């Protein structure tokens, strides 16, 4: 019997950027481009001069408008701010608003930076689940090269470490702990905020209660654009444009960030296929990015206006709960900015020095949700022939050993699938024997952690057939799949799955893909499909399967190759 465990490589607990992820060299993306028509690409950097021209034009137009008597009348009728008769009762800023405003801002730094890092791991956005090269609507990477074995990992880029978190190429595992972990805190803060808004009656300050908000907002827009700015009385009420911006941010953008985020989960998309077939993971990813754009726009405009419309008074409102021109609010703000800067500067170095800590804390925060969504019913996740993607990205490190080459060249005649561990009937099966088992077929969607997706038809053996054959003992809790190929840092690629998921109807060993024998690139002779998990857990080029009680003894003990070496999580339903 082959001892799989001996060929696993012990991982490191710190990160050396030079040897990270199989020593991938750093790579920068291109300027962001948006596709117009079939294959023309517009460089978004042109928006900078274009925006400047539009701004100057808007100022001229607004100033012209204000000369017109009808417009003057309109603006007199709609001065910009709707002062409610009961405004006195909800005037001012209670301490909880100040605290939640600060927490929100502080947490968003990490969410945005790690989100950008995640985006760089697949620097392309699509509207359909097929992720076909050339069909993306947005990219900051060159066109996909002709190389038929080009991988998504080769396609990844990076951003500087003060922008991205942690700022290493293909550091998505760690970026996701930051992103999803801090998300849970941000959502908690948001829920408390919304509850308090409604309990205290302060909601009327950020929710429009009259249609007059729209003409007033137009009036405010003209006032801003004409550089003759509206009177500020934010202590009692926001102007209508501000009101709309806050309303959209709190009640539309924030929930949309959550919904579109969950829209990228393999487990939820599989379970809720009636939604995800219309609103695909790529639509979710694209919208998630547009929500980011909204937040960035909001932050820039908000901060600019805070500082240009009576900075001291504005800072006193939010940071000191007072409505005067003293410096108190400014100093509290300055102190809070020290915390922000320390957090900003420290986050990436901390992550490189203590990646296991980030992995552990991240899992403590998001793990309960990961675990919850693993138990979903995978059955609805099937597609039809017409949904099959014309192109399925390749990923991972290809097996390059002489052993593999010999097996491949001999059409796997000498291949044996070894199934061992805590089973009553360990077996070694030739491919002929595997093919003689009852045939199982499914058309399902693949979700790579990097963000691309695609649908393929998989043919092979259901894992339930394998379970019936080998008879796992009751102590067996995890099923470990070992590859013929190594991972990028050396040592066998492997991954552990909860045994419960092996009897899901869409868990199988595939030897056919789209009615043809599995290709070299996609995992010949055998690969795993488990449709409630992300792609990296679906081991290709399978050599053997071991049933174990616990994976702590295997390799680094984190449940798989990427878990050991790239700090991924072993539960990946989101």
241 vs 448, beta carbon nearer ligand MTE: 448
Residue with the two structure tokens 């992300």: 534
- For residue 333, report the phi and psi dihedrals to the nearest 5 degrees: -60, -45
Query: In angstroms, what is the minimal distance from the CB of 395 to ligand MTE?
Result: 4
Binding site residues, ligand MTE, CB under 6 A: 392-397, 446, 448, 483, 485, 493, 522-523, 535-536, 538-541
Query: In angstroms, what is the minimal distance from the CB of 364 to Mo ion?
Result: 24
| Count of chain residues binding Mo ion (CB under 5 A) | 5
166 vs 560, beta carbon nearer ligand MTE: 560
Query: In angstroms, what is the minimal distance from the CB of 170 to ligand MTE?
Result: 10
The secondary structure of residue 528, as a DSSP letter, is: E
Interface map 407-426 toward Mo ion (x if CB under 5 A)? --------------------
SS (H, E, C) 7-37: HCCCCCCCCCCCCHHHHCCCCECCCCEEEEC
Residue 538's binding partner out of ligand MTE, Mo ion, none, with CB under 5 to 8 Å set by partner kind: ligand MTE
140 vs 541, beta carbon nearer ligand MTE: 541
Does 536 help bind Mo ion (rule: CB under 5 A)?
A: yes
- The DSSP H or E segment spanning 494 is strand 492-498
CA distance 427 to 1: 10
175 vs 237, beta carbon nearer Mo ion: 175
313 vs 446, beta carbon nearer ligand MTE: 446
CB-CB contact of 125 with 136 (8 Å): yes
What number of other Cβ atoms are within 10 A of residue 405's Cβ?
12
Does 458 help bind Mo ion (rule: CB under 5 A)?
A: no
Residue 423's binding partner out of ligand MTE, Mo ion, none, with CB under 5 to 8 Å set by partner kind: none
Tokens (6 digits) for 166: 């942690």
Query: In angstroms, what is the minimal distance from the CB of 117 to ligand MTE?
Result: 17
Map the footprint of Mo ion across residues 381-410, applying CB under 5 A: 395
The closest residue (CB) to ligand MTE is 396
The C-alpha angle with vertex 138 and arms to 132 and 143, in degrees rounded to 5, equals 55
Positions of E strands within 367-439: 417-421, 427-429
CB-CB contact of 449 with 493 (8 Å): no
Query: In angstroms, what is the minimal distance from the CB of 537 to Mo ion?
Result: 9
In the chain, the largest separation of any two C-alpha atoms, in whole Å, equals: 92
Does 535 help bind Mo ion (rule: CB under 5 A)?
A: yes
End-to-end CA distance of the chain: 36
| CB neighbour list of residue 272: distance below 8 Å, 6 or more residues apart | 380
Does 556 help bind Mo ion (rule: CB under 5 A)?
A: no
Residue 493's binding partner out of Mo ion, ligand MTE, none, with CB under 5 to 8 Å set by partner kind: ligand MTE
What number of other Cβ atoms are within 10 A of residue 272's Cβ?
17
Footprint of Mo ion (CB under 5 A): 395, 448-449, 535-536
């Amino acid at each position: 019997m082959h001892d799989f465990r001996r060929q696993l490589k012990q991982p490191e607990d710190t990160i050396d950027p030079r040897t990270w992820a199989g020593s991938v060299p750093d790579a920068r993306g291109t300027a962001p481009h948006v596709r117009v028509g079939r294959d023309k690409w517009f460089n978004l950097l042109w928006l900078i001069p274009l925006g400047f021209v539009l701004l100057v034009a808007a100022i001229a137009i607004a100033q012209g408008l204000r000369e017109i008597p009808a417009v003057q009348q309109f603006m007199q009728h709609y001065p910009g701010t709707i002062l409610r008769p009961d405004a006195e009762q909800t005037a001012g800023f209670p301490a909880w608003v100040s605290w939640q405003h600060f927490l929100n801002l502080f947490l968003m730094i990490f969410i945005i930076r790690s989100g950008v890092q995640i985006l760089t791991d697949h620097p392309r956005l699509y509207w359909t689940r097929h992720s076909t090269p050339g069909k993306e609507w947005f990219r900051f990477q060159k066109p996909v090269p002709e190389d038929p074995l080009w991988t998504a990992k080769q396609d990844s880029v990076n951003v500087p470490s003060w922008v991205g978190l942690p700022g290493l190429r293909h550091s998505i595992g760690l970026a996701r702990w930051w992103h999803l972990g801090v998300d849970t805190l941000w959502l908690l803060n948001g829920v408390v905020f919304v509850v308090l808004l409604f309990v205290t009656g302060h909601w009327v300050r950020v929710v429009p209660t009259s249609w007059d908000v729209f003409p007033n907002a137009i009036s405010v827009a003209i006032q801003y654009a004409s550089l003759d700015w509206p009177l500020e009385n934010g202590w009692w009420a926001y102007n209508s444009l501000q009101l709309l911006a806050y309303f959209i941010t709190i009640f539309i953008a924030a929930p949309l960030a959550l919904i579109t985020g969950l829209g990228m989960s393999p487990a939820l998309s599989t379970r809720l296929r009636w939604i995800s077939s219309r609103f695909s993971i790529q639509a979710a990813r694209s919208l998630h990015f547009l929500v980011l754009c909204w937040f960035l726009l909001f932050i820039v405009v908000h901060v600019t206006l805070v500082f240009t419309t009576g900075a001291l008074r504005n800072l006193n409102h939010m940071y000191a709960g007072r409505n005067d021109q003293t410096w108190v609010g400014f100093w509290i703000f300055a102190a809070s900015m020290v915390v922000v800067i320390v957090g900003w500067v420290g986050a990436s170095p901390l992550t490189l020095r203590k990646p296991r800590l980030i992995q552990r804390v991240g899992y403590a925060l998001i793990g309960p949700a990961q675990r919850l969504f693993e138990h979903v019913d995978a059955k609805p996740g099937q597609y039809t022939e017409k949904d099959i993607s014309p192109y399925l990205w390749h990923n991972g490190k290809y097996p390059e050993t002489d052993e593999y080459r010999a097996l491949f060249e001999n059409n796997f005649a000498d291949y044996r699938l070894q199934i061992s561990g805590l089973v009553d009937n360990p077996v070694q099966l030739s491919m002929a024997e595997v093919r003689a088992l009852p045939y199982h077929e499914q058309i399902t969607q693949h979700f790579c952690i990097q963000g691309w997706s695609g649908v393929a038809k998989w043919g092979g053996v259901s894992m339930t057939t394998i379970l019936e054959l080998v008879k796992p003992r009751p102590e067996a809790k995890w099923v470990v799949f070992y590859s013929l190929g190594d991972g990028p840092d050396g040592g066998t690629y492997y991954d552990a799955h909860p045994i419960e998921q092996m009897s899901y109807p869409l868990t199988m060993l595939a030897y056919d893909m789209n009615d043809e024998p599995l290709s070299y690139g996609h995992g010949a002779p055998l690969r795993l499909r488990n449709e409630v998990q992300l792609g990296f857990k679906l081991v290709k080029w399978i050599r053997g399967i071991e049933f174990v009680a616990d994976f702590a003894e295997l390799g680094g003990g984190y449940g798989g190759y990427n878990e050991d070496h790239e700090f991924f999580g072993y539960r990946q339903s989101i």
